[in-house]
Structure 1
Amino acid sequence: MPAGCRCLLAGLIAWTLALSIAASAPARAADAAFAQFIASLWPEAQAAGVSRATFERETAGLEPDYKLPDLALPGRPSTGAGGQAEFVQVPAAYVKEATIARLAAEGQRLMQKYKAPLDRIEAMFGVPAPVVLAIWGRETDFGRYTSPHDALKVLATQAYAGRRKDQYRTEFILALKMLNDGDVSRKDFRASWAGATGLTQFLPSDYVKHGVDLDGTGHADIWHSVPDALASAAKQLADKGWQPGVRWAYEVLAPVNADCTMGVPEFKQPIGEWIRARYAPVRRLSATEVAQPASLLQPEGTYGPAFLTTANYFVIKQYNFSDLYVLFVGHLSDRMTDPSPFRTPWSASSQLKTKSVEAMQKHLARLGLYSDKIDGKAGMQTRAALGAYQKSAGLKVDCWPSEAVLNAMNAGR
């Protein structure tokens, strides 16, 4: 090779190497800062009862995962809730009939297989077998789904760079304590991107508060023991206010002139009052049920099924803060004993993108119609506020966030 070419090649190699070093410098600096952050947590871990040996072993070589959603990284737009299905899918896609039917059939089989522990669980916590089985089915497909992430890495990353740092700092310390106490091995400690782990998907704080050792092994094993996982789910519901003998919700046929702006948890009245207002239950109710207080839920606004939701609806919602999640779990639990689908089918609605819903919420907030979180999730409060806007603007009142309504808002600014 001529000398000039060799010099040129050497220069190119040196230039490429310099670029590589420069590009990796921020990453190394970030990782060094991450390592320093983890090391700074030792006093908190020690105070929680974590040994120095456990801390050193479990944090050695621990690196952040910046591909996780819900992070707040400089120069990178927030990824929100990672496109959670509960918040981006239309009801028909999330509460999919084929999936419900498959899981219900499996749930019936499991109800017999685990009859003895399920009977104990209901006696202890008042939560029926179909409900805890439905949570297991929704969360991990009855154990067929394995969480993809190392739990400690997820929790450490969220504590360091997440949008909810303080919450995850606590979760990370509790995870170290679980490893320290032998509740779970690092190999089995797999989690979702948000840090939920086990057959019934608990955060470490949930495990500490609600974990149940039903089979008497000395540890609440929500990763391998079905009785422990189901009992822990039942205890979590009971601790959050589950009322024994009360259904999660009742499907009703709404009147044509139904006011969808009433669909907020704060507006509740006895089911008998809803019936007098021509909200017709699709099944016969007892006198006790008719006297129960309930609020209106119309997940697709004036389209699709309507429900009267009880206190237990909102207890399940504390397990996962999504109306579609509760509908899935509640309906799946019903289908284990009754094969009937919802009487009213879902409509062929489309779902606005998160940013569009967020823009809609901001506009509603400016008008004084909405005071909840600006989060891009079209929940009960957003739908009711939207209906109030539609009333004031002389639009069709359907409480459903559509492109047409967003365009009307933009045109009216």
Structure 2
Amino acid sequence: MRSTGTLRTNFFGVSLIALALLLPGAVRAQSSGNGLTNLIDSIFSKNATPPQAATGQGATGQDGAPPPWSGEDGASGHPLMTAAAIREAAGNFQNCVAGMWPDAARRNISRENFERFTAGLQPDLRIMDLLDSQPEFTKAIWDYLDILVSDARLAKGREILAKYKPQFDATEKAYGVDRYIIASIWGIESNYSTQVGDRSVVQSTATLACIGRRQAYFKDEFLSALEILNRGDLRPEQLRGSWAGAFGPTQFMPTAFKRYAVDGDGDGRRDVVDDPSDLIASTANNLKKDGWQTGARWGYEVVLPQNFNFMLADRAKAMPLSQWEHLGLKRANGQPFPQPAEKAYLLAPAGAEGPGFLMLQNFRVIMKYNPAEAYALAIGHFADRLRGGPPFVQPWPRQERVLSRAERLELQQLLAQRGFYKGTPDGQFGGQTREALRGFQASIGAPADGFATSEVLDRLRGR
């Protein structure tokens, strides 16, 4: 299920492009399979970063069709993303596809089916713009959660849980995975099958396998998509999804389908698109194989004490809940931790001004599904709400605004001038920027929470 996307690590905000499309499916492909699970790592600050981009359609023209390729160089600066390189690769597209036949044959794909499923295939060059987009504006984590964990989506989720109760019952018994988490993924990935994407997965993955900077990764996805069709699990008309190749209500990538898809109802096919039994069971199998702990929570909302050392808010610094309690952290609802020996790490997605969260093993499992903490937090919270839990107790600092890309670039440049930032300023915030910002905050006596605000930027400007 990890999908691939255009979105770069942005520690401080949720891309408005991803938000407008509500497409969690595309970032997972960026990060799965090829050791890229840190691509969207640590995406929080005063404001947080996105989930993925599942349908990835972007703006449309007056006729409703996706716009054509811009014809411009990609923003990444990669040599394979120049306009000239894209045109050259597009001109060789047919030869590239035909050249993958020996690899397809080694996967037991018949020559007849290879020819059938690739006949008339043309590249979708609009994907090149989506692969390399750099959104100028971002959206705050609280706005992101407001959109994804909405009353309407919760109501639909409860309908889904009731409608498919037998399937959820069977899946919980077989896999030990919480039905509310599965229903949450279904709701956030595709708004309960209403936003699954409409691009041909074969066309999208073939395009990316032959053109652009991710060819090696997408060659495997393309050949895996052909395997799915060759085996007969899905029909070509069912294999439609995001520009990145994620498909179905819970957004499987073709390689993830191969690893995790199961036949939930015993009909001989693994149909994660139109068969609820297969969809629910396959999603559960994914989580189970990634280490889901039956009966355990994903985490707890916590209240942080005054003058807390935010250097402890680090995924690598997991401690028993009892130790966190000793440091002054309390559950926001005032209840005790039921398993004090469980280890957790602290996430503070809005810094010193917002709620904190102690994240357990199951939160890490959700992040294997999609390596974005904003996404995993939305999934966990949505699941809690589906089972009847309340909203978060503590308020978000909604008065804060998100920095523009130009401001993020300026912040990095100013941190570099002061000797805090050693990287190359690019307007994209990751762990290195967070550490640099913490150093500056500590130097001026501010809480070293590593989250950017306009106030911090003004201090760097000397105002």
TM-score range, shorter chain: 0.7 to 0.9
For 1:167-186, what aligned pairs fall within 5 Å after superposition? Answer: 167-186=217-236
User: What letter is aligned with 1:183?
Assistant: D
Matched, 1:324 2:379: no
Q: With the length of structure 1 as denominator, give the TM-score of the two structures.
A: 0.82
Aligned to 1:94: 144
Shift of 1:395: 4.7
User: What letter is aligned with 1:79?
Assistant: S
Aligned to 2:46: none
Residues 104, 333 of structure 1: 8 Å contact kept: no
Relative contact order: is structure 1 or structure 2 higher (C-alpha 8 Å, sep ≥ 6)?
Answer: 2
Shift of 1:98: 8.0
Shift of 1:97: 6.4
Matched, 1:337 2:387: yes
Residues 167, 276 of structure 2: 8 Å contact kept: no
State the distance in 2 between where 1:47 and 1:70 align: 33
Cα deviation 1:275-316 (Å, max 9, x = unaligned)? 222211023656642221111001111222210000111110
Aligned to 2:120: 61
Residues 323, 379 of structure 1: 8 Å contact kept: no
Residues 332, 394 of structure 2: 8 Å contact kept: no
State the distance in 1 between where 2:422 and 2:109 align: 42
3-state SS of paired residue (1:229): helix
State the distance in 2 between where 1:344 and 1:113 align: 33
Aligned to 1:294: 344
User: What letter is aligned with 2:311?
Assistant: T
Residues 263, 384 of structure 1: 8 Å contact kept: no
Match of 1:388 among 439, 442, 447: 439
For 1:13-412, what aligned pairs fall within 5 Å after superposition? Answer: 29-68=88-127, 78-80=132-134, 88-96=138-146, 99-283=149-333, 288-348=338-398, 349-353=400-404, 357=408, 378=429, 382-383=433-434, 385-392=436-443, 394-406=445-457
Cα deviation 1:105-126 (Å, max 9, x = unaligned)? 2222322222222122112222
Aligned to 2:69: none
Q: With the length of structure 2 as denominator, give the TM-score of the two structures.
A: 0.73
Which of the two has greater helix per residue?
1
Q: Gaps spanning 5+ residues in structure 2: where?
A: 1-83
Residues 378, 401 of structure 1: 8 Å contact kept: no
Shift of 1:365: 8.8
Cα deviation 1:175-233 (Å, max 9, x = unaligned)? 01111111111111111122110111000011000001111111111100112111111
User: What letter is aligned with 2:359?
Assistant: T
Task: Assess, with a 3 A threshold, how the Cα gap between structure 1 residues 140 and 287 changes in structure 2: closer, same or farther.
Answer: closer
Residues 108, 336 of structure 1: 8 Å contact kept: yes
State the distance in 1 between where 2:451 and 2:259 align: 38
Aligned to 1:21: none
Shift of 1:358: 6.5
3-state SS of paired residue (1:95): helix
3-state SS of paired residue (1:272): helix
Query: For this pair of structures, how many residues does the alignment match?
Result: 380
Q: Which has the larger radius of gyration?
A: 1
Residues 69, 193 of structure 1: 8 Å contact kept: no
Shift of 1:103: 2.1
Percent of aligned pairs sharing the same letter: 34
